[in-house]
Structure 1
Amino acid sequence: MVEGVEQVLPPNFCVTLVRGAGPDEVIGILGGADPVPIVSAQTALLAEDAVRERVDEHGVPHPSDLMYVVATRLGGWTMVIEPNGYLCTDRDVVRALSAAGELVSFYYNENTTPSFTWAAGGRELVRFNPGYPDELYGAEPGRLDGLLTELGFTFGGYGDDPGDDPGDDPDDDDFDADFQERTFALMERMTGVRWDAEHLHAATFRCAGVGGPGSRVAAEPWYAEVREALEAYVADPGDWTGEDFEGWGRRGVTDRRVRALGSAGPAVYDEDRAMAMAIAFAPAELIGRIFMWAWERPFRAAGLVDEPWFGRVRDLVHRGEPVPAQDVQVVEQALDPYLATTVFLPFRQDRAHRANIARGLVVQWDSVNPAADLCWQFARTGAADGRPMPQLFADLWRDFPELRDVVIPPPQPPPRERDAVRRKREARERDAERWRLEDLRNTWGGRIPADPRLLEPDVQSATLGLVPHDRDLIDRIAEAGPRTQRAMAAWAARYCCTRSGMIAEDWVEAGVTALERGAPPPPWFTDFDAAFARWRDVPVESITHRLSVSFGDHAPPPIDPAVFALQAVVMARDDDPLIAAMATVRDAMHLGDPAATSAAFRAAFDLP
C-alpha cells in the first residue's frame, strides 16, 4: 500500500508510471526539453506557476500554454506527476509513452471523473473509472478483473436500485470512498515497485514545462526563460515569485534562513527580533525543548500537568504522533474552565471557540520545519495562555538562557535575479500599482487627492466619510492652513451640538466656547469618556467599552446624536488640525442634511 502520499500530492493530480523510457526521455516525448532537477516532490510540485506564464522583453505577460510535469526514476520505471494536469490521459500520449514498454496511470480531479489507464506496446489495454469500475474499456478490458476483485474494488454500482435506468449515473451510496487507496495499491501490484511519502520527499525530480507530443514549444526562444524561472525557484523556493505574503521584504529581511520561520514568524520578529533570530539559527535539540515548553504552558497554567491523562498526551505530541480523538475530547473538557477566564471578548462565552483553541494544541498540523512549527506553537499557546506575548518571551529568555548563546551568522546575500524573473516581478509590480491607483480612485470618488497628507492612514480614516457628500470640500479643507482648520473644527463642533440639542446644556456650551477661544478644555471635555460620563451623570471609572460584531446585511445600530456631538467637541482638539477639521465636519454631515450642511460650512468660510 502507498502510504502518506495524500500529504505530498496536490488535491488534483495525474500520477503515471512508465516502463521503457527514463525521466528525460519521457519529458522529451511530452514535448519538453532540458528539465531542471528539484529535490522533493513537495518542492517540485509547487514550481508549477513558474511555467504557466512568461513575460516578453517589453514587459507584457502572456500565458505560456505549457503543462507542467515532474519525473523521477522509481525502480525500473519512471514516475510522472502532473499537478492539476491530465496530459497522460490523452490517448495519443498514452500510445507514445507506452510504445517502448508499458504505462500505468491514475488521474484524479475533484470536479471531474477519475480515470485509470493501462497500456503496453502502444496499445491501451484497460481504461476505467476506479470509483465505479463496472464498465471497463480497452483492447483487453477483462485482464484486470481478478486483481480488481482481490483489491476490493466495488462492483455493481449501476442499476442496483429498483427504478434505476441503465443510463443513470451511479448512486451515491454505491460510490467507493476508498478508491484512491485501492488504485494506488493496484499500481503497486502491477508495476512491482513500492513508493510512499518518504520516497517522494527524498527523490530528485526532473521538472519541465511541456507542450504535448509533437509540440515545438521547446524550440521557442522564450522556452529558455521558462526554464530560467524554474531555476530561480530552485535557488529560492520560498521567495522566487516576489509575492512575499508574509511581509518579510517590508521588514527588510532577505536572509532565507530567517524567512524560513514561515507565516507565523513575522509576528515573533515584530514582538522580539532577537528571539526570532535566535530561533532561526538555534540547534534542533533546543528548538524541540522550547516547543514542548511552549506547548505545556497553558496546561501548566490550568493546573493540568499532574492529571493522569496528561503524560500520555504529552508523549504523543512530543513524538509527533496523532492524539486519539477521545484524548482530544478530554483536553477540550479539561481546559474549558481555564479558557473561559482567559479567552478575550467577544468569544468569552463561546464554548465552541474555546474547544477549537484547546483542539489546536493537540491536533497535528502540516509541518513546515521545526523553527516555523515553533513560531506557530507560540501563536497557539498565546491564544490559550491568557497572558500577553511579551510575557511569553520574557519567560522564555529566563528559562532558556542558552538562547543568548546562539550564534547569528552574517545574512546570506540574496540570489541573483535572472532576467526572466525580473520581468515577471516588474510586470507584477506594474499590475499592483495599477490596481492600487484604481482602488484609490474608487475610494476617493474618482479623484485621488494631490495632497499626500490625505493618504496617510489616520487622516484618511477621518476623511473618507466626507467623500459621498462633498468630494471637493475635502480638497478645500486640506488647502486651508492649520489655524483655519482649527476654526473649521470648532464651527463643526458647535454645529453638531446645536443640531443634537446638546448646546442647551451649560456644560456643553462651556466646552464649545473654550474650543472657539482656543482655551484649555473644561475637565469634562478632556476626553470622550469624561464627556460621556458627564452626559450620563456617572463616574468615569464606571464606563466600559463593548465590541459587537454583526454579519450579513444588518444595518448598524443608530448612534445617538448626542454621541456625535460629544465626539465632535473632543475630536476638534486632535493634535493634527487637519484630522480635527475632517473628523468634525464628517460628524456634522451625519447630523443634518449633507447638502445643507456643506452649503452652510462653505458659506461660513467663504469656500468656492
Structure 2
Amino acid sequence: MVADTDDYTFLTGGTVLGFDFCLTFVREHTPDQIIARLGGHQPVTLAGAHTLRGAAETVSAWPDVHGDTHRSDLLFAAAVRCADWTMLLGPEGPSWSGEAVSFRPRDGGFRWVRDDETLAACALGDRGARALTERLTGVRVTPEFLAAARFRCAGVPDPDRPAPADRVLREAREELVDYAEHGDDEQDPWLERGVVEKCVCDTGDYGVIIHDEDEELARIIAYAPADLLDRILAWARDRAFRRVGVHGAPWFAPIRDRLDRGVPVPADELRRADRRLAGRAASAPGVVRAMLRPPSSDTPAGVVCEAICDAAEAEDGDYRTVVADLRDDLAAGLAIELPPRPHRRETATALRRRLAAADAGWYAGL
C-alpha cells in the first residue's frame, strides 16, 4: 500500500516537532548509534510521540530558579527502531554508511543514500516524498505506532553553530531526564513561561512561538478586537502568498476566496495547486498546503498566530523579520491598550530545583 497524502499529517502542523523537521530512515544503525553520530550525549527514553514537542522545547531552552530562560542552541533528535530501519525525527544527519532515506514534510525535499553514494536527491513535493519513502523502506508510520513507540532522545549540536561545551550537552540530558520523570507537570508550555493570562494561553502552541519572539505582540494578539485580528490575518496570508508567488494569480483566486470565507478547500483543488507549484521554490507547496488546511487553533487569536508562523516558514523560518515587519506595517493598529501584566508564576522545573537546593542546604546544616 502506498502512503496517501494525509498519512503523515499527525507529524506536521505543530503536533509533534512543529512544521520544520526531517524524517530519516537509516538501515544498519541502532537509535543510540544515530544519536551518538549526531553528537548527542547519553540519550533518554521517552514513551509516545506526544512527548516529543515538549522534550524538544526542553532541550532548546531551560529556566533557572528565577524563571529566566536560557537558550542552548542545541537541536533535538528522537530515534526509534522500525523493523530493519531506525527512524530519526529531527535534524538532517550527516552521510550515513549503509542506507538512508529521508524527506522534509515542510517542502517535500527527498534524499536516498547508500554507502555514501547519493542515489536520488530532489524536491518531489510532500505527497511524492512520503509515498516514495514508504515504498523504499517498506515502513508505514501510523499514529498508533507513534503513540506506543519508545524514542531515544537527546539534544545534539547544530552543525551551523559553534560546537557546544560538554556541560551544555550534559545539562540538556539532565533536563530531558527531569522531563521524562515529571513530564505531566510541564506539558503546558505557558506554565514553563510563567504566563497566567487565559486569553494568552488560549492562543496555543503557535502563540507560544510568537511569545518567544515578541512577548508583547503575543499579548496584543490575545487582547485584540475582531477587526484587528482580521487585519493581521490578511497581512500574514498576503505575505506568505506573495513570497511563494501565488498572490494575485488567476488560478489561485478561487482557492483564496474559499480561505477568506472560511470554507474548506477540496482535496482535488489542493492537488492541482501542488502540481502548479511544483516548479517553484522548494518550500512553496508545503507552505501553501499549511495555510490552506483547516487551522488547528481553537480561538481566533490562535488562528492569527498560526498564520503568522506559516508566513515565517515561507521565509525559511525567519520569524524575527516577519514579526518586525508586522510591527512596522500595522504599527498604528497594534497600539492598543493592554491590562497590566499579572505576576509570573515560578516554572515547574525551577520550583523543583529551588526546593531541592533548599533541602540540600537544610541537610548540610544538620
* TM-score, scaled to structure 2: 0.47
**Higher normalized strand content (fraction of residues):** 2
* TM-score, scaled to structure 1: 0.30
Which fold has the larger relative contact order, with Cα–Cα distance below 8 Å and residues 6 or more apart in sequence?
2
